[in-house]
């Protein structure tokens, strides 16, 4: 497992050049799965986590978690499960060892697509964007500042994970 530290001057986890269009990333830009990146101090109000990746052509599922640590059973304020086998995206929270009630949306991407997933912390909810389009509003079930790690797992190739104070 590889954890990348925040570059405090730029608030970035990766400074590699990004692929253009549908071009695959250069081999040196690919992050290994599972991938973990720190969010120092949690995801703050107005801050956006930006994940640039590509879903695998033969994949069934991948997940993006904003979680409270790296250990098994840690709190997960926001779980995003992309399910090609169900044509759905599922949102949930893992709190005190239990999953909450799922929220579901239709899948906005296809297998093999490059995508830009953004998660912005607002006053009391996360605004989720796929390819810069508003996609889902997820009310906080746990405070956003508890989300200190971005975790990606499953059938996805990660180009970069960065943070910014704009969407």
pLDDT digits (tens, 9 = 90+) for 119-128: 999 999 999 9
Predicted local distance difference test score (pLDDT) of residue 143: 93
Predicted local distance difference test score (pLDDT) of residue 42: 86
Stated pTM of the model: 0.81
Whether the Cβ atoms of residue 138 and residue 30 lie closer than 8 Å to each other:
no
The region of weakest confidence among 28-42, 60-74, 151-165 is: 28-42
CB atoms within 10 A of CB 137: 12
- pLDDT score of 134 more than 60: yes
Q: How confident is the model at residue 64 (pLDDT cuts 50, 70, 90)?
A: very high
Pairing of strands 35-38, 149-154: antiparallel
Structural domains present in the chain: 30-164 (2.60.120.200)
């Amino acid at each position: 497992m590889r954890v990348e530290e925040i570059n405090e001057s730029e608030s970035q986890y990766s400074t590699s050049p990004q692929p253009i269009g549908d071009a695959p990333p250069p081999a040196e830009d690919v992050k290994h799965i599972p991938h973990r990146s720190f969010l120092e101090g949690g995801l703050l109000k107005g801050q956006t986590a930006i994940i640039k990746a590509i879903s695998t052509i033969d994949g069934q599922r991948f997940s993006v978690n904003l979680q409270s640590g790296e250990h098994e059973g840690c709190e997960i304020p926001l779980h995003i499960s992309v399910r090609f086998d169900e044509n759905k995206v599922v949102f949930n929270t893992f709190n005190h060892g239990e999953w909450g009630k799922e929220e579901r949306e239709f899948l906005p991407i296809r297998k093999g697509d490059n995508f830009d997933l953004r998660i912005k912390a607002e006053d009391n909810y996360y605004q989720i964007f796929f390819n810069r389009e508003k996609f889902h509003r997820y009310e906080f079930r746990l405070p956003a500042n508890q989300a200190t790690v971005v975790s990606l797992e499953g059938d996805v190739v990660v180009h970069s994970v960065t943070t910014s104070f704009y969407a």
